[in-house]
Chains A and B, each alone.
Chain A
Amino acid sequence: MSKQMKKIATGLLAGIMTLTLAACGSDNSGKGNAAATDSGGGNSGGGSGSGKKVTIELAISKSSQDSAFVAQDVLDEFEQKTNIKINLQLLPAEQTATVLQTKLAVDEVPDLIQYNLASATTDLNLERNFEILDNEPWVGRLLNKDVLSAYDHVYSFHYSQDTGMQGVVYNKDISKDLGLEIPKNYEEFLAVCEKIKASGITPVFMPFKDNWAANIWPAAAFADWAAKNEPSLFEDINAGRKKWSDVPEFATFLDQQYEVYKKGYTNTDILSDSYDMAVGKFLNKETAMMFMGDWLIVNVAEKDPNVHLGLFAIPSSEDANLGASPLGGQLFIPKKAKHMAEAKQFLEFLASKEVAQKMVDSQGSVSNFSDVTTPKLPDYKQEIVDQYITPKKTTLTTDAYMIVDRSELYRLLQDEFAGGLDAKGVLKAWDEKFSQLMKDKGVEGF
């Protein structure tokens, strides 16, 4: 090869490599720089008055893209008023946690994230990565700070307070036809199951192929028991002073759920059936009840408003409270957001009386702002408000107190139904895993 040929070949190779590497990096750098370029760079405050257009990034799971926060008319109105554009980063639903973890780890953070509070504490290291919002102007108008708080601080934003109610979803029509009352304790619940079974309908649908579904009963039952009998229990567990297996009632609650299955009150193939079958089961009146959240009622109503479903508390003990989990997807601002001021301005806009009222009206939600009126609610939701929220008969589910990944607990619960572990075995195995995860987090006492 002549020297000239070598030079040409080397030059071509270098060119190709440069292009390849530049192409690999262009996506991130492009996105990352977009906001800075638009805004003229830095945290200038942008927004109205500055005259410069600012683009801020909002990362949201694709499965949440119909959220009221990101309705196009809301985003357009915000942009018109403030000259701040919201750019949505739609993340694949099954990879949302991983993508956000990676972004946070490498400081490639969006300005806003939609996630749920309970999971953010475990998946995204809330304290380290997210801004405390205690001093935001809208916080003083909140009716229920708890649903937006962790570690005694407000970390997230939402206009409603009624998301993520968990208990027993039931078909009111079947209940009425069979003359059933809402059970107040476990024995009454078994009696209800027996009557439904006798009518030829499957009393309870358990879709435990999705192992998280096996956690609805214990998550509410554990929390209800702790709130009424030992309020400092989860604090003690998180400090390593107590173990999950130290509470005999927890094993009892796990046994209860298992007993519902063993007594034949459920679908036969619970480990093969998944949550996505649930709506069909209710629409076809194949099942009368399910341990689930109120989102299932919404899913069923979307398909057929004539199927009347309701929700009552998991009847693990006498007159139990309804489980409340701060799910549904709140908005968070990462501490390292490039446009902190603009992100806070967006929350302030959403919290304004007019916008919050519009969102509450369109979603039929219970307002979380003192000056925003709760519209006429769907029947099921009004019942929840009347029977549980207003008389303060709700309890944050156990998930809200756990600061580690819970998926191993879900697998252990599934294993109970596969015959691999009994209730005590589940708690013992979870103690070991929990201890390891807490140790990994560097929590004192482990």
Chain B
Amino acid sequence: MNVSKKLYSYYLIWPALLIYSIFFVLPALIGLFYSFTDWRLDREAIKFIGWDNFERIFTDRTLLLAMKNTAIFAIVTVLGKNLLGIALAVGLNMKLKSKNLLRAVFYSPSILSVLVISIVFTPMLRSDGTINRIFEAVGLPSLSQAWLTNPALVIWTVAFVSIWQHTGFQMAIYLAGLQSISKEYYEAATIDGAGSWRSFRSITIPLLLPAININLMLTLIGGLKVFSEVFVLTGGGPGNASQVVGTIILRSFGEGSWGLGTAVNTLLFAAVTVIAIPLLIFMRRKEVSE
């Protein structure tokens, strides 16, 4: 095979590479440049200011709170969406008459717009909303809370709503993973005397690792980049109590601090990369093949 024939397949990626470079790589590099400037609407000329924007990020209390909230949201949703997703997938992988209906029911929230979720949950989570009324009706009034307006609770509430909405999507990926595991392994394990838990631990989990990896990556990146859920449910409030990095970027642009906003965005990109890639490599090494 001559060299030009060997390179033939690479020609096919050029259009995609070109478009990707123009619309992603180039803006990202331009963004990186602006994050080191004092770019503002009211600047006659943009000035290079080194690490000033990044220093400010780490000294601004609201920005630090936003980072803390982002971390809480990411950890809670990664755990919630994946643990519940696996549990639902295992349950709905069993022989149930209504499993197709239940799969559709659990998956359906993930196709809803986050605006619809806001319209549904905002009145439910009010102090006099449905959730608190249910607590009162079952004799647990002490559990009633100001779910979206208590600064100590609000980010957890938003995380809960996100888990409710997206777990069905994670469940679908886990279901696909479960269905690719051969039944013969379970039959062999049963003959060897393994119970359900042992089979789950020693067969299901190891062979489900590719699906777990995908879901962990998706939920982690989604958690770190969270914006829409917070924006529509709380707008980052009350006060700044539920600000996350995504809403801080919006706030910075709204204040006209475009350089700062770009720096926060750059930092988010770096954080997602630094956390996600090593985790992906680590998890890939754990994968086993059938």
Given contacts A9-B11, A405-B255, contact A411 B41 (CB under 8 A): no
Q: Which residues of chain B are near A437, meaning CB under 8 Å? A: 255
Given contact pairs A211-B237, A405-B256, A419 touches B41 in the complex (Cβ within 8 A)? no
Report the stretch among B121-129, B163-171, B186-194, B275-283 that lies at the interface: B121-129
Q: Is A65 an interface residue (CB 8 A)?
A: no
CB distance from A428 to the nearest CB of B (A): 12
B128 engages A269 (CB within 8 Å): yes
Question: Using Cβ atoms and an 8 Å threshold, which residues of chain A touch B19?
Answer: 20
Nearest-Cβ distance from residue A105 to partner chain B, whole angstroms: 6
Residue pair B126, A414 in contact (C-beta under 8 Å) = no
Of the stretches A32-40, A96-104, A167-175, the one at the interface is A96-104
Complexed CA–CA distance, A405 and B238 (Å): 18
Q: Which residues of A contact B255 (CB under 8 A)?
A: 404-405, 407-408, 437, 440
Contact of A418 among B15, B42, B62, B151 (CB under 8 A): B151
Binds A, one of B75-83, B106-114, B142-150, B216-224: B142-150
* A418-B149 CB under 8 A given contacts A101-B41, A440-B40: yes
Nearest CB of chain B from residue A93's CB, rounded to whole Å: 14
Answer whether residue A241 sits at the interface, using C-beta atoms and an 8 A cutoff. no
B261 to chain A, nearest CB (A): 11
The contact string, 1 if C-beta is below 8 Å from chain B, for chain A 390-428, is: 000000000000001101100110111111110000000
Of A104, A128, A269, A411, which one neighbours B240 at CB under 8 angstroms? Answer: A411
B241 within 8 A of A: yes
A289 located at the interface, meaning its Cβ lies under 8 Å from any Cβ of chain B in the complex: no
* Contact call B41/A421, Cβ cutoff below 8 A: no
Q: Are B8 and A441 in contact (CB under 8 A)?
A: no
User: For the complex, is B119 an interface residue (Cβ under 8 Å from A)?
Assistant: no
- Asked if B239 and A269 make an inter-chain contact with CB atoms under 8 angstroms apart, the answer reads no
Number of A interface residues in the complex (CB < 8 A): 40
Query: Beta-carbon contacts of B34-64 to A below 8 Å, as 1s and 0s?
Result: 0000101110100000000000000000100
Q: How far is the CB of B240 from chain A (nearest CB, A)?
A: 6
Assess whether A104 is in contact with B41, with CB atoms less than 8 Å apart.
yes
CB neighbours (8 Å) of B41 from chain A are: 101, 104-105, 124-125
Find B149's partner among A104, A125, A269, A408 (CB 8 Å cutoff): A269
Q: Does B18 contact A (CB under 8 A)?
A: yes
A441 to B239, CA, bound (A): 24
Residues of chain B within 8 A (CB-CB) of A6 are: 11
A13 within 8 A of B: yes
B133 CB within 8 Å of chain A: no
The chain B residue sitting closest to A429, CB to CB, is: B61
Bound: A404/B11 CA distance, A: 52
Known: A272-B148, A440-B40. A418 touches B127 (CB 8 A): no
Main SS class of interface, B? loop
B246 at the interface (CB under 8 A from A): no
Candidate in A98, A269, A420, A440 with the most chain B CB atoms within 10 angstroms? A440
CA distance A441 to B150 in the complex (A): 34
Shortest CB distance B156–A (Å): 15
Interface membership of A123, Cβ < 8 A: yes
**Residue numbers in A under 8 Å from B127 (CB-CB):** 268-269, 272
User: Known contacts A97-B254, A128-B42, A271-B149: does B128 contact A414 (CB below 8 Å)?
Assistant: no
Given contacts A125-B41, A269-B149, A407-B254, contact A418 B239 (CB under 8 A): yes
Nearest neighbor of A1 in chain B, beta-carbon distance: B8
What is the CB-to-nearest-CB distance from B141 to chain A, in angstroms, rounded to a whole number?
Answer: 15
Are A440 and B237 touching (Cβ within 8 A)? no
Q: CB distance B241 to A418 under 8 Å? A: yes
A17 at interface by CB-CB < 8 Å: yes
Contact B237 A411 (CB under 8 A): yes
Q: Tell me whether A271 and B238 are in contact (CB under 8 A).
A: yes
Contact with A along B229-244 (1 / 0, CB 8 A): 0000001111111000
Bound-state Cα–Cα, A6 to B253, Å? 46
CA distance A16 to B19 in the complex (A): 11
Residue of A97, A404, A414, A419 touching B237 (CB-CB under 8 A): A414
Report whether B240 and A415 are in contact in the complex, using a CB–CB cutoff of 8 Å: yes
Closest chain B residue to A102, Cβ basis: B41
8 CB-based A-B contacts, threshold 8 Å: A271-B146, A271-B148, A271-B149, A272-B148, A404-B255, A407-B254, A408-B255, A418-B241
- Per CB-CB distance, the 10 closest pairs between chain A and chain B, nearest first, are A415-B239, A418-B238, A271-B149, A125-B42, A405-B255, A272-B126, A269-B127, A271-B238, A101-B41, A414-B238
- With A407-B254, A440-B257 known, 17 other A-B pairs at CB within 8 A are A17-B18, A98-B254, A101-B256, A125-B41, A125-B42, A268-B128, A269-B126, A272-B122, A405-B254, A411-B239, A414-B237, A414-B238, A414-B239, A415-B240, A419-B151, A440-B40, A441-B40
